[in-house]
């Protein structure tokens, strides 16, 4: 049983999570998160901890940011897009139990931003921004690091927020280049 309560977007996501692991969920009901839902998530964070596990799309990212802004210290699970798509539909509900378990094993806790070792220059030199194919490299590296896909600026912010230092970044980059 997972101790934390997993925050998902809807009922189908809850069903998919429960096929993969034994866990309690809170459903946001989509991107229109109301104050009552935020209060329930805050209480869950206070009592048991929270893992935000939203769809790997724009709406899911919006929900993730809203919750993280109102409820600090949440953990985050990221599902790669290719693991969450079925017949053109993108969402947690389409992921296999194995993909869900893997995402939950790579959970990251958001920490207050600090000046870290990782810089924008590191991303440029690694071919993660301003290069042809940089979006695909970020997607694959985000999967290895367990932080999901995002643009270059957000990628650096996530690395800092999840305290991914240069050593961890370099090791993941080496793994990416060996694939």
Domain ranges within the chain, ordered by starting residue: 1-110, 112-179
**CATH class of the domain at 1-110:** alpha beta
0.85 cut: is pTM over it?
no
pLDDT tens, residue by residue, 75-115: 999 999 999 999 999 999 999 999 999 999 999 987 765 55
**Per-residue pLDDT at 163:** 87
pLDDT of the residue at 116: 56
Query: What pLDDT, on a 0 to 100 scale, did the predictor assign at position 62?
Result: 93
pLDDT tens digits, one per residue of 113-156? 555 578 899 999 999 998 899 999 999 999 999 999 999 999 99
pLDDT digit string (tens) for 61-79? 999 999 999 999 999 999 9
Whole-number Å distance between alpha carbons of 98 and 171: 24
- Kindly report, residue by residue over 4-34, the tens digit of the pLDDT: 999 999 999 999 999 999 999 999 998 778 9
Determine the pLDDT at residue 112: 61
Cα-based distances in Å from 35 to 39, 60, 67, 117, 176: 6, 18, 11, 37, 41
In the predicted model, what is the mean pLDDT of residues 39-57?
A: 96
Give the distance, in angstroms, between the CA of residue 176 and the centroid of all CA atoms in the same chain: 19
pLDDT tier for residue 57 given thresholds of 50, 70 and 90: very high
Predicted pLDDT at 179: 87
Residue 6 region, left (φ>0) first, then alpha (ψ -120 to 50), else beta?
beta
- The pLDDT of residue 92 is 96
User: What pLDDT sits at residue 118?
Assistant: 86
Q: What is the pLDDT of residues 155-176, one digit of tens each?
A: 998 998 888 988 999 999 999 9
């Amino acid at each position: 049983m997972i101790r934390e309560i997993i925050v998902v977007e809807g009922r189908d996501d809850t069903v998919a999570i429960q096929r993969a692991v034994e866990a309690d969920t809170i459903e946001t009901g989509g991107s229109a998160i109301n104050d009552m839902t935020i209060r329930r998530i805050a209480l869950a964070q206070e009592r048991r901890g929270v893992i935000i596990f939203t769809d790997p799309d724009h709406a899911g990212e919006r929900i993730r940011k809203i919750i993280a802004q109102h409820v600090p210290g949440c953990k985050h699970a990221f599902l790669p897009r290719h693991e969450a798509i079925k017949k053109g539909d993108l969402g947690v509900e389409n992921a296999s139990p194995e993909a869900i378990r893997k995402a939950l094993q790579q959970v990251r806790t958001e920490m207050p931003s600090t000046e870290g070792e990782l810089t924008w220059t590191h991303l440029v030199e690694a071919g993660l921004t301003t290069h042809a194919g940089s979006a695909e490299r970020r997607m694959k590296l985000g999967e290895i690091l367990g932080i999901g896909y995002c643009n270059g600026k957000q990628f650096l912010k996530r690395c800092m927020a999840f305290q991914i230092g240069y050593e961890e970044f370099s090791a993941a980059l080496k793994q990416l280049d060996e694939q």
